[in-house]
A = this chain, B = another copy of it.
Amino acid sequence: MAAVFSVQIAWGDCDEQGIVYYPNYFYWMDSAFQALLRKAGLNLRIIREKFGAIGIPLVEAKARFLASATHEDALAIDAAVSHWGRTSFRVEYRAFRERELVFEGLEARVWAVRTSENAVAPAPIPAGFRDALSAAGAAR
């Protein structure tokens, strides 16, 4: 039920040891997040224009790496919301090479709006956004 982003690891994604240079894992995690938004009929432009947020800034990101990966390997990364707070939410990621778990990760994001004083502040997540994203990738 999660959104899935697939990638084949490129030559340039690997370092001198022939394994993935790790910041690329976060690049693919973010790509999986974009796939989750897309599956929900959303993207960051829509979030700003339709829902009035100035963005959904990341406040935390982490990953655990269980196996190394190299160029030519194909990864399927699933993304699903794992927690809804009032003004923040978490998305969990799992990346598989066939049936082997290569890494798992988490992002925490905040719903941010511009206040009347022109500051940026957290605000309650609109139900329409939450429902759309939950439907796209909530349960596992």
> Which A residues fall within an 8 A CB radius of B?
10-12, 14-19, 21-24, 26-27, 30-31, 34, 38, 43-44, 55, 57-65, 68, 71-72
Contact of A71 among B34, B64, B72 (CB under 8 A): B34
Q: How many copies does the complex hold?
A: 4
A65 to B16, CA, bound (A): 20
Could you give 5 example pairs across A and B, Cβ below 8 Å?
A: A11-B21, A17-B44, A19-B57, A61-B62, A61-B65
The smallest beta-carbon distance between A76 and chain B, in angstroms, is 15
Which residue of B is nearest A48, CB measured? B17
- Chain B residues whose CB sits within 8 angstroms of the CB of A65 once the complex forms: 57-61
| Contact present for A44 and B11 (CB under 8 Å) | yes
- Chain B residues whose CB sits within 8 angstroms of the CB of A57 once the complex forms: 19, 65, 68
Given contacts A61-B62, A65-B60, contact A14 B15 (CB under 8 A): yes
